[in-house]
Chain A
Amino acid sequence: MSNKKLAIIATKGTLDWGYPPFILSSTAAALGYEVQIFFTFYGLQLLKKNINVKVSPLGNPGMPMPMGMDKWFPVIGTAIPGMESIMTMMMKSKMKKKGVASLEELRSMCTELEVKMIACQMTVDLFDLKTSDFIDGLEYGGAATFFEFAGESDICLFI
C-alpha cells in the first residue's frame, strides 16, 4: 500500500491548470503514495515563491463568465485588455468563498507530505528563469531524472 507511486509532468502555467498537479499529488501522498512532479515549460511558474498565474477566458469557451458576459461579448470580448486580470480576480475570490485552497497552500501541503518536485533544467535555462525566484527544496534535472522514478510508477500523468 505504501509503495504505490504517482509521477506527474506539469506543463501548464495558468491558475486553473495549476490545480490538478497539486491536488492530485497532495491527496496521493496523504493516501500513502510516493509522489514526484516534473515541472517543465510553463509549469515552472508554479514553483515560484510568489505564484503569479492567471486564468484566461481567451480560447476557453467552456469557462463560465459572470453576468452573462460571454453572451454580451462573444469570443472577441474575451480578448479585451484587462479581461484576464478581472477573471483571475473573480475566480480567486470565488475559490476563497467556496473553501478551495490556494495554489500556495496546496503546494506547501505537498512539501509537507514529502512530494518531490523536480524543475526541468533545460526550460529553466531556456526562459532565463532565476532559481532564486523558486521555492527551496527543488531538484533540478532532465528527462532521464524523471524516468528514473516514472519508469517505476503505478500512475503517470501528463498535465
Chain B
Amino acid sequence: MASFDQELDASGLNCPLPILRAKKTLAGMSGGQVLHIIATDPGSVKDFEAFSKQTGNELMESKEEGGKFFFLIKKA
C-alpha cells in the first residue's frame, strides 16, 4: 500500500458520516498530503468517488478487502 500521512477509521459509520469525518480530517491537513480511510459502509465507495470529483481532492486508490473498504485521498 502506498504511504499516507493520516488515517481515519470510519468503520461502523453510515452515510454521510464517513464523508463528513473525511472532510474534517482533510481540513486539518496540508495540500499534497494523503489520507487513508477505512470504512464499512458499502455506499462509501460511490460516495468517495463523488466527493473526490466535486472537491478536487484526488482519489488515489479505492479497494475492498475482507468486507472493508479502503481509500487513499490526496488533499488538493
Chain A residues with a Cβ under 8 A of chain B: 1, 23, 26-27, 30-32, 98-101, 109, 112-113
Q: Which residues of A contact B60 (CB under 8 A)?
A: none
Contact A30 B23 (CB under 8 A): yes
Instruction: Give bound CA distance, A90 to B12, whole Å.
Output: 19
> B17 within 8 Å of A by Cβ?
yes
| Nearest opposing residue in chain B for A22, CB measure | B16
> B3 within 8 Å of A by Cβ?
no
22 A-B pairs whose Cβ atoms sit less than 8 Å apart in the complex: A1-B54, A1-B56, A23-B15, A23-B16, A27-B16, A27-B19, A27-B20, A30-B16, A30-B55, A31-B51, A31-B55, A98-B14, A99-B13, A99-B14, A99-B17, A99-B40, A100-B14, A101-B14, A101-B17, A109-B20, A113-B20, A113-B23
Q: Which residues of A contact B51 (CB under 8 A)?
A: 30-31
Per-residue CB contact flags for chain B residues 1-37 toward chain A (1 = under 8 Å, else 0) read 0000000000011111101100110000000000000
Contact B56 A26 (CB under 8 A): no
Q: Which residues of A contact B55 (CB under 8 A)?
A: 1, 30-32
Instruction: Give bound CA distance, A26 to B51, whole Å.
Output: 13
Instruction: Give bound CA distance, A98 to B24, whole Å.
Output: 22
Instruction: Give bound CA distance, A10 to B13, whole Å.
Output: 25
Chain B residues with a Cβ under 8 A of chain A: 12-17, 19-20, 23-24, 40-41, 51, 54-56
Instruction: Give bound CA distance, A113 to B27, whole Å.
Output: 11
Total inter-chain residue pairs, C-beta < 8 Å: 37
Query: How many whole Å from B75's CB to the nearest CB in chain A?
Result: 14
| Nearest opposing residue in chain A for B18, CB measure | A99
Q: Which residues of B contact A32 (CB under 8 A)?
A: 54-55
A-B contacts besides A30-B16, A100-B14, A113-B20, 13 pairs, CB < 8 Å: A1-B56, A23-B16, A26-B16, A26-B20, A30-B19, A30-B23, A31-B54, A31-B55, A32-B54, A32-B55, A98-B14, A99-B13, A113-B23
Sorted nearest first, the 6 A-B pairs with minimum C-beta distance are A30-B23, A99-B14, A27-B16, A99-B12, A99-B13, A31-B54
Q: Which of A31, A99, A109 has the most CB of B within 10 A?
A: A99
